[in-house]
Structure 1
Amino acid sequence: MSEAGAWGYELTFLFATAFRAAVDDLHRELAAQGFDDVRPSHGYAFQKLSFGGATGIELAEHLDITKQAATQMIDYLEGRGYVERRPHPSDGRGKLVVLTERGWACIRATEAQFVAMERRWRERLGEQEAERLTQSMRDIVRSFGEGTAKFRPVW
């Protein structure tokens, strides 16, 4: 039994460790493909922007950060060619932040890496065990209740 198991939180520790390892693996692969300036928090921003863009305020709310922090992130991503600001279609004073082709290319590379990771895990576990684990993870996520288990960064 590991120390974490002896303390009564081995499963929690293993989830956290597996998540961190997956994120590190993803970003090593992204860097190898030329996306070495993308950080984990940017993926959460891309996720929001992939549904037609967002205002800075909407992005801040999605990421649970201040408007100023969202503006800094947008500036960073825009400076590196991942996003661009466009006139908002319904608010003449506002700006809509949208993904550029480079942003979409990063999303496609991320998706391909996720598929490759899952394929490796399924090969390692076997299809039946992988399906059981997937269902167990769904149950755990649902147990957090509606609206509380959001896909956003842990700051």
Structure 2
Amino acid sequence: MSSDVPGFELPLRLLLGFRVLIDELHAELARQGHPHARPLHGFVLQAIGAGGTTAVELGRLLGVSKQAAGKTVETLERVGYVERTVDPDDTRRKIIRLTPYGMDVLARSARIFADLRARWAAELGEERLRALEADLRKVTPPDMFRLDMPGWFGSL
């Protein structure tokens, strides 16, 4: 069975849909007081999580080297999204933690994504959007919170 649509269009359309959502997210984040937030920062902040992590663990979660993770942490520290603290169980280890500003960007991102989804539902219809989401669940692994995309794309 042949198709008039070339096979390479599907991944490009999926990536373009992702890009549209991410670009709109970051434009709104900038308006809401987060002008320095970048697309890869979201993966990093999610990987750090509420409990914090080390640079070694962060690199593993992101699929990048400890050095690449450390460089990104330095950037996030300058912006004010994270801080490094001493591990109370081992003073030689540094724990990377989200600051209140870092937690704020994640909370705002969640609300903005909900608004963007609502806009897509208004454009496509709620039923069609739910069907699209259900179909994507059928053809993708159940673990949708993979954070190793930076490493998969090549690095931070």
Contact 2:26–2:38, Cα closer than 8 Å, also in 1: yes
**What is the CA deviation profile of residues 96-124 of structure 1, one whole-angstrom value per residue up to 9, with x for unaligned ones?**
10000000111111111100011111122
Distance 1:78 1:24 in 2: 23
Instruction: Mark the runs of 5 or more structure 2 residues left unpaired by the alignment.
Output: none
Residue 90 of structure 2 corresponds to residue 77 of structure 1: no
SS in 1 for 2:96: strand
User: Is the Cα contact below 8 Å between 2:80 and 2:102 reproduced in 1?
Assistant: yes
SS, match of residue 97 in structure 2 = strand
Identity %: 34
Which one scores higher on RCO, CA 8 angstroms, separation ≥ 6?
A: 2
> Aligned-pair distance for 1:34?
2.0
AA of the residue aligned to 2:13: L
Per the alignment, residue 130 of structure 1 pairs with: 129
Q: Distance in 1 between matches of 2:126 and 2:92?
A: 52
- Measured after TM superposition, the shift of residue 149 of structure 1 is 8.3
Pairs within 5 Å for 1:1-155: 6-142=5-141, 150-151=146-147, 152-153=149-150, 154-155=153-154
CA RMSD of aligned residues (A): 2.0
SS class of match (1:94) = strand
Contact 1:141 1:149 in 2 (8 A): no
Could you tell me whether the CA contact under 8 Å between 2:50 and 2:98 is conserved in 1? no
The 1:119–1:147 alpha-carbon spacing in structure 2 relative to 1, beyond 3 Å, is closer
Distance across 2 between alignment mates of 1:139 and 1:29: 31
Q: Is the 8 A contact 1:85 1:96 kept in 2?
A: yes
Give the partner amino acid of 1:117: L
TM-score by length of 1: 0.86
